[in-house]
Amino acid sequence: MLKRNCKHFVGYDSLMTPPMCPYSLKVDLLNIMRIYHLRILLVLLLCLFGFVAGCDSEPVVEKVLPLIQINDQEISKTEFLAEFEKNLQKDQTLSGIEREELQRLFLVQLIDRELIHAEATRLGITLTDADVETALQSYRQDYPDASFESMLQERGLTVQFWREELKESLIIEKLLEEAVYSMVVVTDTEVAAYFEANRDQFDRPAQVRARQIVVADEAKGLEILGLLRQGQSFAEVAIEYSLSPDAQQGGDLGFFGRGEMPPVFDEIVFDLPVNRVSDLVKSEYGYHVFLVEEKRNATRLSKNEATEEIRSILEGRKKEEVYLGWLQEMRARAVISVDWAQLEKNDRKHK
């Protein structure tokens, strides 16, 4: 009976030494309890200092220091390099020095962009999906057929990525118009002073307004000439057949003076009568057909004629000055830090 009771105290079956009764175990039990308490205390201490695996539900991960910190926002080196690569041309090859210079320039631009974006968020500047879609379609018009998608593919970009970039640019543009450029004012006195100081700038050389159709080969060019001489609209034929980026505008090149276009253009259009279609003209770009719609003689603009242009010039200058001052204030208010050592370490890998 005593032997059976002793088993429950010391693990009878598992011990190699003969069992002892409870009355003789009093001292040993006290020692065991002390050891047990010491072990618990040790485990707790080890857990406290993070040395025991499994004490925390999550593994201990070494914190990766950010490359850039802008107020509470952190940008890692991995995130920065991913953004940098997206902005390079596909398969673009850079030397080590070129890459280093571009990365530093892009880093400054990225910081400014994030500051502006944060300010837009703070002021509640937003765009609707319809606003973005309208802008996207406007850009598409400059690229006939599927050349817009081809352009993106050559740069290694998707339409969705480009759309997001466009949206961000439009938000920044809206912010600047509402919060920065609204402070710009150009007075009549400033316009008059600029005109007097820059009279020669408003001497206008002879100009023509012309349209063009560009095709890849002579046979197609002769076919186009046939359609035009049958009376078909030059603009409609340009939209349907021309390979030039201005095709969606009916081949309209706007007004231009001598030396503003390739020499072969000047040789034809300045001697071509108004509303006359040219013969087929070969250039390094393909085969052209031109139509001159209007001619302007050389002249000097009056102050009234030049006012709109002068106002635009002065507004552009003032907007640039106001923007740079506003951006400098944004930078001064922000807490910005850059771990240049991380970037320099990455640069050494490419040298």
Let me know whether 156 and 104 are in one domain: yes
| Cα(323)–Cα(318) distance, integer angstroms | 8
Let me know whether 147 and 237 are in one domain: no
Count: domains in the chain:
3
pLDDT tens for each residue of the chain, 351 residues long: 333 333 333 333 333 333 444 434 344 444 545 544 555 555 444 444 444 444 455 555 567 789 999 999 999 999 999 888 877 876 778 888 888 889 999 999 999 999 999 999 999 999 998 999 999 888 887 776 677 888 888 777 788 888 888 999 999 999 999 999 998 999 999 999 999 999 999 998 999 999 999 999 999 999 999 999 999 999 999 999 999 988 889 999 999 999 999 999 999 999 999 999 999 999 988 999 999 999 999 999 999 999 999 999 999 999 999 999 999 999 999 999 999 888 877 656 655
Give which of 223, 225, 249 is closest to 236, Cα–Cα. Answer: 249
Let me know whether 87 and 167 are in one domain: yes
Let me know whether 39 and 85 are in one domain: no
Let me know whether 168 and 237 are in one domain: no
Let me know whether 147 and 244 are in one domain: no
pLDDT score recorded for residue 11:
35
Asked if the structure places residue 327 within a domain, the reply is no
Let me know whether 176 and 92 are in one domain: yes
pLDDT score recorded for residue 162:
87
Let me know whether 128 and 212 are in one domain: no
pLDDT score recorded for residue 47:
47
Let me know whether 44 and 75 are in one domain: no
Asked if the structure places residue 38 within a domain, the reply is yes
Q: Are 121 and 185 in contact (CB under 8 A)?
A: no
Asked if the structure places residue 187 within a domain, the reply is no
The enclosing domain of 211 has a CATH number of 3.10.50.40
Asked if the structure places residue 163 within a domain, the reply is yes
Q: Are 74 and 66 in contact (CB under 8 A)?
A: yes
Let me know whether 166 and 109 are in one domain: yes
Q: Are 111 and 336 in contact (CB under 8 A)?
A: yes
Asked if the structure places residue 303 within a domain, the reply is no
Asked if the structure places residue 116 within a domain, the reply is yes
Q: Are 272 and 289 in contact (CB under 8 A)?
A: no
The two beta strands, 281-283 and 207-215, are unpaired
pLDDT score recorded for residue 156:
75
Q: Are 154 and 146 in contact (CB under 8 A)?
A: no
Tokens of 327: 């951006």
**Residue-range definition of the domain harbouring residue 21:** 2-48
Let me know whether 87 and 136 are in one domain: yes
Asked if the structure places residue 34 within a domain, the reply is yes
Cα angle: 290, vertex 296, 300; to 5 degrees: 145
| Cα(174)–Cα(168) distance, integer angstroms | 10
Q: What are phi and psi of 159, to 5 degrees?
A: -60, -40
pLDDT score recorded for residue 14:
37
Asked if the structure places residue 235 within a domain, the reply is yes
Tokens of 279: 């013969």
Let me know whether 222 and 264 are in one domain: yes
